[in-house]
A and B are shown apart, each in its own frame.
Chain A
Amino acid sequence: MIEITEIKKIADAARINLTAEEERELQGYLSQMLANFDKLRSIDTEQVAATIYPIAVESVLREDQVETSLDIECVLSNAPESVKGYFRVPRIMEE
């Protein structure tokens, strides 16, 4: 069973606050899902290349020309808080 301390680390990495009850539920869920996924680990994939996309894709290039994009007004139209053309957010603390 995954430890609660591990769950807290995952929640921190995912930037989601969890209640104590949610943490406990997740212990069960994550442990069970990983146990299922462990079945995949026994498959021999030594000589197998990874699939990233299911069809062949190549990098798509374009001419290095300036093109129009969204108006600033559109970009800010859903902003919870904006000022002078910027998104405004609470201060960013340095660790």
Chain B
Amino acid sequence: MGLSKYSVTQLQSKLEQQQITSREIVESYLQKIEQSNNNAFITVTADLALQMADESDQRRKEGRLLSSWDGIPIAIKDNISTDGIKTTAASKMLADYIPPYDATVVSKIKAAGLPIIGKTNMDEFGMGSSNETSAFGRTLNPVDPTRVPGGSSGGSAAAVAGSEVPWSIGSDTGGSIRQPAAFCGVVGLKPTYGRVSRYGLFAYAPSLDHIGPITKDVQSAAALLQIIAGSDYYDATVAKQPVPDYTQALQVDVTNLKLGLAKEYFAGLNSEIKSAIMQAINVLASAGAEVTEISLPMADYVNDCCLLLSCAEASSSLARFDGVRYGLRVTGTDSVEMFKNTRAAGFGPEVKRRILLGTHLLSAANYQKYYAQAQKVRTLIIQDFAKAFAKVDVIVAPTTPTTAFEFGSKIDPQEMYKSDFYTMAANLTGIPAISLPCGTDTQNLPIGIQLMGKHFSEETLLRTAYTLQELNSKQVKNND
């Protein structure tokens, strides 16, 4: 296992004490990646990572570290632009596309001194919940290779869970950070909308897209959020709220914290998942949290509302892929034929389905009936959560309706969409949400618990999650 067994905090400490170098850390992870069959990476940037590691080691010698995480390598989902490094969105459309600029999150990661070890596999253009729509092959779940790692940030989650990288960046439009984190047994945080700049993220649905961390533990999620959060000249939708010190939130303390359990989320829930979540709630209650039942009456409309809006936005976001300026070109007798040939060859089936559905929803005959209506239903869903947050601080929910399913078991797209049942509300409302492991089922598959908070309440979420994580691990230690 070498150095890849260590957490970010442990690596930080060993670097500080000069027990290891950044180069040794990177070499260890590169070896792990080399030995792995998981296909978590589309591109491994070995030379770059080693060069960045050497620069970090030099900075450390000269006492001019860029951050306290300088030298700890990271992986980035392949829909986030990295200057000079192929970025494909797991699509044939961009198989050879090399961005000429860095996404803001990448600039911030470089400014913190983190070597970039590679670009992770994903569902094509973020459209999927299993990593099965990637044009670069499926990613295996390190916990059970016959099962999906989840999606669309399946590569980012699998790479962390498989110890191929200590932390990673994913994106989340309907659950794509949290669901794979739950399936792989790691931590996934979708911050508040606007907390992290989306400049350089290939847009899927701009009012629903978020970038966030996928990590082994809550403390490294807090650290990575610290690195990537903040305002940005290049993103007009980014929040102006100042970025607090998220590491201060890492306290074991939930005294008087009001937890809400929505009855709509627990009706008909898989019994093993329910049991694990109730156990976690008991742990928090024993530590001083109050538990209240709440209602989210719009819960049954969330999935359809989110799907409708995301497909409509996607049809607009993906209109840029036409063979003119970048990406695949399949030529034709005229430009229009070129657009049609290029898009037919470049997009996979799920991407085509969603673009065509979105196009249809935005047509003159359908716009008012469907799209405009969904925008209003979105408001009602936001109001649902606002009413709930008047009573509670954190809403506790399952992350997913099932644990990781087998490859090929959800051929019907609509079965696949159900996997995001509990996660889509946080995208519609823009509220922050974190998933962390809270047990396993009888097949030893990880179960995730989801905590959701008010806008910009990441500190409360991180504190709650950290408390649960620490109390649970103390329990495990006591049991050993």
Interface residues of A (CB under 8 A from B): 7, 10-11, 13-18, 22, 26, 29-30, 32-34, 36-37, 39-41, 43, 45, 48-55, 57, 59-60, 62, 70, 74-75, 77-81, 87, 89-93
C-alpha spacing A87/B81, complex, angstroms: 22
Nearest chain A CB to B198's CB is how many angstroms away? 12
B363 close to A51 (CB less than 8 A): no
Q: 6 other contacts beyond A18-B344, A40-B304, A90-B334, with CB at 8 A cut-off?
A: A26-B353, A37-B374, A48-B380, A78-B98, A87-B324, A93-B335
C-alpha spacing A41/B374, complex, angstroms: 8
Q: Chain B 22-51 against A: per-residue CB contact (8 Å), 1 yes, 0 no? A: 000000000000000000000000000000
B356 close to A40 (CB less than 8 A): no
Nearest chain B CB to A81's CB is how many angstroms away? 7
Residues of A contacting B328 in the complex (Cβ-Cβ under 8 angstroms) = 80
Residues of B contacting A78 in the complex (Cβ-Cβ under 8 angstroms) = 96-98, 100, 325-327
C-alpha spacing A18/B431, complex, angstroms: 38
Tell me how many residue pairs across A and B have CB atoms closer than 8 Å: 167
Nearest chain B CB to A20's CB is how many angstroms away? 13
A16 close to B376 (CB less than 8 A): no
Which residues of B, 4-29, contact A by the 8 Å Cβ criterion? none
Q: Which of B207, B336, B376 contacts A15 (CB 8 A)?
A: B336
Nearest chain A CB to B451's CB is how many angstroms away? 18
Measured as residues with beta carbon below 8 angstroms from the partner, the interface class of chain B is 35 or more
A93 close to B336 (CB less than 8 A): yes
Q: Which of B100, B305, B332 contacts A40 (CB 8 A)?
A: B305
A51 close to B379 (CB less than 8 A): yes
Chain B residue with the shortest CB-CB distance to A92: B335
B interface, over-half SS:
helix
Which residues of B, 236-250, contact A by the 8 Å Cβ criterion? 236-237, 239
Does B119 belong to the interface (CB within 8 Å)? Answer: no
Chain B residue with the shortest CB-CB distance to A94: B334
Q: Chain B 208-252 against A: per-residue CB contact (8 Å), 1 yes, 0 no? A: 000000000000000000000000010011010000000000000
Does B258 belong to the interface (CB within 8 Å)? Answer: no
Contacts A16-B340, A17-B344, A87-B324 hold; do A50 and B356 have CB atoms under 8 A apart?
no
Residues of A contacting B262 in the complex (Cβ-Cβ under 8 angstroms) = none
A57 close to B356 (CB less than 8 A): no
A37 close to B428 (CB less than 8 A): no
Q: Chain B 357-391 against A: per-residue CB contact (8 Å), 1 yes, 0 no? A: 10111010000011011111111101000000000
B370 close to A37 (CB less than 8 A): yes
Nearest chain A CB to B414's CB is how many angstroms away? 7
Chain A residue with the shortest CB-CB distance to B239: A55
B414 close to A32 (CB less than 8 A): yes
Does B129 belong to the interface (CB within 8 Å)? Answer: no
